Amino acid sequence: MSKIIKPEPWVNTKEIAEHMGVTVETVRKWIRLEKIPCHRIGKLWKFKVSEVDEWVTSGQAIE
């Protein structure tokens, strides 16, 4: 029997800020500077926690 793999959910700006321990304004600044990995869906910015975690652990977050 094969296992069904559930896709990773998208999170919003507030949720990613809480995950990272920073303010929403900091996340918005990173979006403006095109630093943080994010995806625009209509007027909303969405994030995959795994992509953001990879961004941090790769050292790109300190540039």
pLDDT tens digit at each of 63 positions of the chain: 678 888 999 999 999 999 999 999 999 999 999 999 999 999 999 999 999 999 999 988 776
On whether the CB atoms of residues 55 and 37 are closer than 8 A, the answer is yes
The one-letter code for the residue type at 5 is I
Number of residues that this document lists for the chain: 63
**DSSP code at position 11:** B
24-32 helix and 13-20 helix, angle to the nearest 10 degrees:
110
